[in-house]
Chains A and B, each alone.
Chain A
């Protein structure tokens, strides 16, 4: 095949550059039957590969010789053909087509007309995606775009992916990530292990995406069987369209910064003052701090050193994106070639952020009348620096809150001059924490690089007009390489390095390889013109192989040579392999009666290596019905342009747990005193079996007034049974992580999704559209083993209890400060208010969980002539977040670190109310796991605001361009929330708890993870 690519490619460039014969330039406007211009109409010259599209004003220009036939085609309209005569101005009016008034939607294992779909599918098209391009990961782009799809950025680290949950918490297991399928290739995402996590989504160029379909209910997700339980997101990349080669270049450049906090940190004089106050109250730790012991002159000196640590440690990030694509097609061959470059330096000064180069070639070739071949290949190389994300000052985002403002970045001598080292460089101040984070960012380096290749080849064989077959092979291969270094003479090398072997370095190398072979044999038939029947039989074999290798070495001659070859000795090395196999057989049946009454059914049997011999296979089935009421004759004169009722019910499965949980394993990967050790790794559960989900969905789709107003309403009830959870067990079992993967019970997620879109104003020059979606979600734990509560969460502050909301908070209730003495008060288990604190007072906070009750997004788009303004908002309500970051900022014990200014507001005299506890009650006051720090997470955020200008045809012709668009985009530029801090939280503190760690619950608490950023981007998009 490879050789052929080159031929094809050469062919393309030939055809592109050829043919400028004696032809006339034909131009005109394409409009609909009401005279409104239609942008994006395909204008093709028959029997050639030349073509164009109308611009935003509906204007086109094309070269054609006399007698040529130009065809005008547009989704939802009848195609019109015009023979070129003498007239070079050809205006065309297209008539709305009744039969084709619908888009084609990418569905499970195929495509379908929207009206024939019996299941709940949300789609996001390329036009919607265009306004979100500055986001480097595609899952982040989905936020607020589709009803029922909850997207929360993991954190603000550039290149990081997002938590995507479809219709609530379908699985309690750390992994609620849906299945992503790119051009038919299921993408392996491993986020259920502590060390081997793999998520290739960050390697996709959003500019390559044509559309995303989100499969939400059983009728469609069930077709993916065991992997469909968290929903499925189908990503379709762009294909060449008939006509001349189109070259599109997009370039943008922008800046980002940390979203400012809604509260203030103390400055030097405030911090010194609170130290003085605390010392006055007899707080031991305060009595020797500068605020307590300094002379007035010394205080003035310290105040003069006032340092804003955010300015010292963070910077304005630079965000760059460039993308070039060349695409086109003739009768037999279509191609789409793209290159992309993205860079986001991140907001941490002194290290690099995220950088990615992508390339893609999508082709399809009609080799024979009966044989079509699709071949897509994409390549991405990304590199990212990995700062520490933990709850201490090794994390710059903790440091900027913790470092005292009177301690400057560089050390000073007695005279107040900056100290210089022997090379004349200023010496970083170790500060009272003894850890100079700015220097550590330079000497403790960690970065990773990924080389991702995704490819698929498919042969579509038409056996007869009734039988067809598609054979496809998909490959995902990622080479991961991580380098961690502690430079000689660096911060950690000084503390824990070996004097005889300065400097350490670890290299990790992993190859994730997955292949997927599938064969879909299909039968399509129509009886009596009205009975349409299709059936497909699927076989799929999927194997995932990961191999990895690491080496540890120490003793480097120079910090400049980051290779193990020069190290004095290797101290450790290792290699490992993991495999998992999934084998599936499925049957899909679809029937419709004249497009009015539609029924579908599917059954799939999956075998997985994740389960023991007794439970290897799971069977999943679904059935669905739909009624296109609008197609009934009695609806002919109604104002409905579309009205459809549909219902579906079915099951799907989840097997997303680590391998080999059903057998006991003995691990050998640690040594003791240089000798091999064997230790039990897990308590086995031989009975572990498939988690399954049954989803009921009832929906209505409607459109009024010639599709000017359209919407979808869905009710869903999702029951997840045999939930897989790494359930905490008694420590006395001696298990490595004190938890066992088990089928622990049942949860229910039910709710309503509504999405609406309206073209409010639609005139020749002016358009106003509005749209939005809302999801109302209720969750409930239905059943647990023996009815026994399960306490989870990174710090044990989340509980599962029958009859209660999933992941309810489990905290000690705070009862405010006793106005008489300033003591913090809590509610004990008998409901009495007491000044003592005990962990045993923990109780469920009913109805309060990190899960939002209401969630969604809405947008407004205004277009006037070539100008456009679009604002996309996301909102969330009803979730709670434990603000551990505030607990740290107000902790009495943190008097040696900087504090929030709110810490001044403590109890001072009898009668004070609405105050923080008196510092004299440090023991009982410094308790973070209490309702004192539980805050509502409600917010509305202006996710993106894009202002753009599309140059009209008349100017474009003058500068010989097909299209020109200029745009400015702001991201996260406005947020409304009462939460003290940024409310968009996925990971609270990665090294305390992240995907794959036992008990991890996204959005549970905030604790100095990489914060969200806001950005401003300027760009240009040129087509020629």
Chain B
């Protein structure tokens, strides 16, 4: 045989192999884009902004730990139903520590992911310099960045009005691409003070308010949303006149008493100013926010948390919100004051509904409270009556003054916003204590199992969530900055 032929063949194969560098270098990701090149049109930027909304939605709607429910579960609006799965009992029973899973690591992680997404947009907004949508996109991203930081600051740090030393206490790290805070994955930044956090939150929101469009489609922020958020942030920051001014810029009207039930089945968005939305078809496997409170099947409602007996019974029979809030849930022969707001779209019990983050009613209540704090009792009463007249079927304008008026504002706030993720923060920012009635149980008649931890006294360290253990472990700078008590 002729060896040479084969040697030639082999050399041929070998040479073929040697030209493989291109194959190695040219391989590109198949379904992913590059955050450095993708954002170059208003449409692509909006895809990025929608990604930020989704990150926010992830921690608001999480069926185990959603921010739509945990603040109520920790405080006094609801009580754990003993026939549930004992979910979140470490939170309800005020036992949480830095290593507790669920809400503590979830918010910290997802909020910063939202912030990272917003910074990607903000940092590259010049790519669409001069385009008509530039301002609207930048406005949404700035507002979303402020929103996520605001959630972090109020969860992991004190709220400025909570105590006199709150502003000098540690808040969270504010990540701004303009300041060079983002982009280094190995950074181990320190926590900043609450005062500095609120400055930056307000700065971002004020900028956003000037940039964002008046109207955006459902599920996205708009001008009303930014001003509504500002009215809340200013209230938290004790800047009452600014809270009133921001509230006055909100043009959205209240949901009427007759519209209210349909708000919670997503039939109408009346009075909803900020929401995180779900498309129950394409996101059929998405989060069921209602699972935080209950799951229903075959006429049985397995409630995790049900309405506090005293709270529910303090609601007037003429109050349209009573029926919006409660239904009789039956499980294992027990009746409960089960929570109705998150059952699902009409006819459903799957717990899949839009997350109502901020409604017009809250804006009115922010304004009323701010007016009261400024001593404008008459104005505060007028503002409060605007809400009450849309809620009580036989409405007689209230005439409270002084403490009675203050209590009335807080009572309406508690009822109006019940189970929507406000109660813990409202108690916290006012420096009050969480007080559950230690003699009332979980059942519909107030019997049953009483709360394990009925009291969280004002000033208790648990008003601030611990920085999650994983962050402590990965970031030595923060390891020395854990919240007191943990």
Contacts and interface: CB of A to CB of B under 8 A. Distances in A.
Contact of A732 (B7, B47, B83, B112): B112
Interface stretch (B186-194, B233-241, B243-251, B413-421): B186-194
Interface of A: 284-285, 287-288, 370, 392, 430, 432-435, 461, 463-464, 467, 469, 471, 491, 494-501, 504, 519, 521, 539, 541, 543, 552, 554, 569, 571-572, 576-581, 583, 585, 607-609, 613, 616, 659-660, 663-681, 683-685, 728-736, 738, 740, 788-789, 791, 795-796, 837-840, 842, 893, 896, 922-923, 929
Contacts of A735: 113, 116, 185
A613 B10 contact: no
Interface stretch (B65-73, B131-139, B206-214, B469-477): B469-477
Interface string B163-189: 000000000010100000010111111
Contact of B282 (A572, A837, A842): A572
B31 A571 contact: no
Interface in B79-126: 82-86, 89, 93, 95, 97-99, 101, 108-109, 112-117, 119-120
A796 B473 contact: yes
18 contacts: A284-B452, A285-B86, A392-B85, A496-B291, A666-B48, A667-B31, A673-B50, A673-B219, A673-B279, A677-B47, A678-B47, A679-B52, A684-B185, A734-B182, A735-B113, A738-B474, A837-B97, A896-B82
Interface stretch (B34-42, B255-263, B369-377, B398-406): B34-42
Given A495-B351, A660-B29, A678-B48, 18 more contacts: A284-B449, A288-B441, A430-B300, A461-B6, A499-B349, A519-B13, A541-B17, A579-B27, A581-B23, A613-B25, A616-B25, A673-B53, A680-B35, A728-B474, A734-B113, A735-B116, A740-B185, A791-B474
Given A461-B6, A577-B31, A732-B187, A519 B449 contact: no
A894 B449 CA distance: 16
Given A495-B297, A679-B113, A733-B187, A669 B3 contact: no
A577 B33 contact: no
A81 B52 CA distance: 82
B130 interface: no
B470 A738 contact: yes
Nearest to B173: A732
B109 A738 contact: yes
Interface in B300-328: 300, 302
Nearest to A607: B24
Given A499-B349, A732-B175, A838-B486, A678 B34 contact: no
Contacts of B448: 288
A664 B297 contact: no
B23 A674 contact: no
A960 to B, nearest CB: 47
Interface string B440-462: 01000000111110000000000
Given A670-B54, A673-B278, A497 B35 contact: no
Contacts of A539: 13-14, 17-18
Nearest to B448: A288
Interface string B1-24: 101001100100110011011011
A386 to B, nearest CB: 17
A838 B97 CA distance: 7
Nearest to B80: A285
B110 to A, nearest CB: 9
B32 A571 contact: no
A432 B84 CA distance: 8
A668 B31 CA distance: 8
A432 B332 contact: yes
Contacts of B269: none
B296 interface: yes
Shortest 5 CB-CB contacts between residues of A and residues of B: A734-B116, A494-B297, A683-B185, A674-B279, A791-B473
A288 B82 CA distance: 8
A840 B482 contact: yes
A507 B93 CA distance: 41
Interface string B267-284: 000000000011111111
Contacts of B476: 788
A660 to B, nearest CB: 5
A734 B117 contact: yes
B410 interface: no
B129 interface: no
A674 B283 contact: yes
Given A664-B36, A730-B188, A736-B113, A672 B24 contact: no
B431 interface: no
Interface residues of B, number: 111
B57 interface: yes
A733 B119 CA distance: 11
A659 B25 contact: no
B279 A288 contact: no
Judged by DSSP, the binding face of B is loop
Nearest to A791: B473
Contact of A434 (B85, B95, B119): B85
Contact of A521 (B10, B285, B475): B10
Contacts, number: 292
Contact of A672 (B53, B296, B451): B53
A206 B140 CA distance: 60
Contacts of B24: 581, 583, 607-609, 616
Contacts of A788: 476
Given A434-B295, A675-B50, A677-B54, A541 B20 contact: yes
B282 A674 contact: yes
B378 interface: no
A580 B472 CA distance: 36
B47 A733 contact: no
B134 to A, nearest CB: 17
Contacts of A616: 24-25
A985 B79 CA distance: 39
Contacts of B31: 576-577, 667-669
A680 B120 contact: yes
B30 A578 contact: yes
A673 B277 contact: yes
Contacts of B351: 495-496
A668 B21 CA distance: 30
Nearest to B56: A672
B303 to A, nearest CB: 10
B158 interface: no
Nearest to B118: A734
Given A674-B279, A678-B47, A729 B218 contact: no
B17 A519 contact: yes
A284 B115 CA distance: 41
Contacts of B282: 571-572, 671, 674
A730 B469 CA distance: 11
Contacts of A676: 47, 50
Given A519-B17, A668-B32, A738-B109, A498 B288 contact: no
A731 B36 contact: no
A498 B23 contact: no
B468 A496 contact: no
A616 B280 CA distance: 45
Interface string B289-300: 001000111101
A839 B99 contact: yes
B350 A495 contact: yes
A729 B175 contact: no
Nearest to B119: A734
Contacts of A572: 282, 284-285
B279 to A, nearest CB: 3
B89 A893 contact: yes
Given A463-B3, A731-B471, A923-B95, A571 B30 contact: no
Contacts of B48: 666, 677-679
Contacts of B189: 730, 732
Contacts of B51: 670, 672, 677-679
- Output the residue of A284, A464, A467, A504 with the most chain B CB within 10 A: A284
Contact of A671 (B29, B283, B350, B352): B283
